[in-house]
Amino acid sequence: MYNGFLPISKQDMADRGLSQLDFVYISGDAYVDHPSFGPAIITRLLEAHGYSVGMISQPDFKNASSISILGEPRLAFLVSSGNMDSMVNHYTVAKKRRSKDAFTPGGIMGKRPDRAVTVYCNLIRQLYKHTPIVIGGIEASLRRLGHYDYWSDTVRRSILLESGADLISYGMGEHSIIEIADALAGGIRISDITYIRGTVFKTRNEDIIYDGIRLPDFEEICTDKKSYAKSFQIQYHNTDPILAKCIYEAYGGKTFIVVNPPAEPLSTMDMDDVYSLPYMRTYHPSYEKAGGVPALSEVKFSLTSNRGCFGECNFCALTMHEGRIVQARSHESIIKEAKQMTDDKDFKGYLHDVGGPTAEFRAPACHKQLRHGACVNKRCLFPKPCPNLIVDHSDYLSLLRKLRKLPKVKKVFVRSGFRFDYLVADKNKEFLKELCEYHVSGQLRVAPEHISDNVLNNMGKPSVEIYNAFVKEFEKVNQKLEKKQYIVPYLMSSHPGSTLADAIMLAEYLRDHHIAPEQVQDFYPTPGTISTTMYYTGYHPLTMEKVYVTTNPHEKALQRALIQYKKPENYQLVKEALLKAHREDLIGFGQNCLIPPRPKKISKNNRRS
């Protein structure tokens, strides 16, 4: 009798009466059968449609035989790096190797290779020359065309060419993976599967590309940064499932990488079906001795209520991956899952989160989006909320109220990011009141990211005045509730557009508002974002205006140190930055000064080890 997980060995296959699997899924993550993990959703969905699927998690990437432990699949290998991009998983923004991997048993680093998708596909091709390979997940999705690669500081080819795979299922893959499976099961060759939305294929015949937009050739974007920026602009303008056209990129004038329009958004019924599949909701029992998989603890008692985001921060890849049209589950589906959680032996009475990319987005931004698509040249929230934007927290508030009333539930937290500008735009302040009263525990984390309008404009974020208005509302509500709760702002240094003067402006803001950030995120140029295109090209791809960019590690260190100017170890960097910017007025003992003329002596007790 099998244990409920998908097969991970020949014995598991035998227990299920299987001699050959339809699909073998190879993942860079440990095997966690939980709907917060993409591989679990795809494999369970295939199983629900009658296909047999086995899982090979974190195979030995130095040994090709490790990907053959389940034999050759009847239809295809499916490959992803897991829930995270393998390069982001492995390296900090300073390109230093991380010490822990939360998606590996025991948090051990080194169980997956760099560029995992490519490495796994190459292993497959060593043993199975002609078996179809379909790649997906965020690593493949955001590298579907030629792209700037921060870690090698080069423009790399489409991952479809680098990996040798046959097809990419990009974005949210529920619709496309079933269409691919049905096509393969129907006897269609993988090379002939060129028509499915949400997929990327390669061809040497340009004539088969119907009504497509040809991007600048790969060789051109490698040598001309302005062409790279224009190419990304076209890609970004073709991310909407209703408006997007097929786009394609040529390599050597002979090979073409073709991106079909995105898959249709999931309906509420589709979403409910996906989250009602028979997940085991935990990691595979084989990991118990290693202490389990750390990443599970963050999501085990969290509820996904939506997908997609119309917030469109420039440094975020959500528009390119999930899209701008918000898709949401029904209250009934979410409450049913919450009740399952309360029956878990480890449940302590706390639902850790109810949300998604943006917690309070529970519907498309306006009535037009589902009929006419998301506007190509306008944004829903930036620089100001669109007149057509529907600002309404009532559905989300109703959901939270229902969850609070469940037996065994002591508290429901909201830890997903939410848009403070969307909240400020809501004339009904009931949600903010209940958020402060029931769903915050002392501190509320929000993401103004910066305060300089110059930087915020390049981030696609609202003016600092909107953030200040939110802070006032938050403080006013907590005063009425007689609660001592605080806002903890997320801040980012060295984003494209940020100069030393902007960083000093931020430091002065922090001084005036008595904020001493414990953590600061340096801008991380990852594939698939507007900001990364700015970082590499020096152009804003949507306006083609030039943008100041700092790539110098020392200047980046100066900007970061200014945000944490109170830390004694940052003194010399802060002083250098102020002198370089001719802001000696901020060095001294006056109340407006950031640092004294000389560094304070650090006592032994305060000295860092």
pLDDT band (50, 70, 90) for residue 418: confident
Domain boundary among 235, 259, 283: 259
pLDDT band (50, 70, 90) for residue 608: very low
CA distances from 332 to 202, 221, 277, 328 (A): 42, 48, 15, 12
Residue 187 lies in a domain: yes
pLDDT band (50, 70, 90) for residue 450: very high
pLDDT in tens, 579-606: 999 999 999 999 999 999 988 765 555 4
Rounded Cα distance between 44 and 458, Å, is: 40
Residue 334 lies in a domain: no
Q: Can you read off the two tokens belonging to residue 22?
A: 């339809």
- With 0-12 CB in 10 A as exposed, 13-18 as middle and 19+ as buried, what is 7? buried
Count: domains in the chain: 2
Q: Where are the beta strands (DSSP E) in 40-116?
A: 53-57, 76-80
> For residue 157, what is the domain's CATH number?
3.40.50.280
Domain boundary among 217, 243, 259: 259
Q: Give the per-residue pLDDT at 605.
A: 54
Residue 474 lies in a domain: yes
pLDDT band (50, 70, 90) for residue 492: very high
Q: Give the per-residue pLDDT at 456.
A: 98
pTM over 0.85, yes/no? yes
pLDDT band (50, 70, 90) for residue 2: low
Rounded Cα distance between 205 and 156, Å, is: 22
Residue 308 phi, psi dihedral angles, 5° rounding? 80, 160
- Mean pLDDT of the 229-249 span: 97
> For residue 463, what is the domain's CATH number?
3.30.750.200
Q: Where in the sequence is the domain holding 97, given as residue range(s)?
A: 10-204+253-259
285 CA to centre of own chain: 28
Rounded Cα distance between 238 and 232, Å, is: 10
Q: Give the per-residue pLDDT at 607.
A: 46
Query: Radius of gyration (Cα) for the chain, nearest Å?
Result: 25
Residue 475 lies in a domain: yes
pLDDT band (50, 70, 90) for residue 20: very high
Residue 545 lies in a domain: yes
CA distances from 424 to 73, 243, 421, 428, 471 (A): 53, 30, 5, 9, 10
Residue 238 lies in a domain: no
DSSP string, 248-304: EEEETTTEEEEEPPPPPPPPHHHHHHHHTS----EE-GGGGGGT--HHHHHHTTEEE
CB 320 within 8 A of CB 528: yes
- Burial readout 241-263 (b: 16 or more C-beta within 10 A, e: otherwise): beebebbbbbbeeebbbbbbbbb
Residue count of the chain: 609
Q: Give the per-residue pLDDT at 603.
A: 56
Q: Which residue has the tokens 């801040």?
A: 491
Q: Give the per-residue pLDDT at 275.
A: 97
Q: Could you say which DSSP state residue 12 is in? A: H
For residue 28, pLDDT over 80 is answered with yes
The CA-based dihedral angle spanning residues 601, 604, 606, 609, taken in that order and rounded to the nearest 10 degrees: 120
CB 401 within 8 A of CB 393: no
- Mean pLDDT of the 167-188 span: 97
Residue 446 lies in a domain: yes
Rounded Cα distance between 435 and 123, Å, is: 50
Residue among 42, 423, 524 at smallest CA distance from 263: 42
Residue 420 lies in a domain: no
pLDDT in tens, 375-414: 998 999 999 999 999 999 999 999 999 999 999 999 999 9
- Mean pLDDT of the 98-108 span: 97
Angle formed by the axes of helices 500-512 and 571-580, nearest 10°:
120
- Mean pLDDT of the 79-106 span: 97
For residue 488, pLDDT over 50 is answered with yes
Q: Give the per-residue pLDDT at 602.
A: 58
Q: Give the per-residue pLDDT at 599.
A: 86
pLDDT band (50, 70, 90) for residue 370: confident
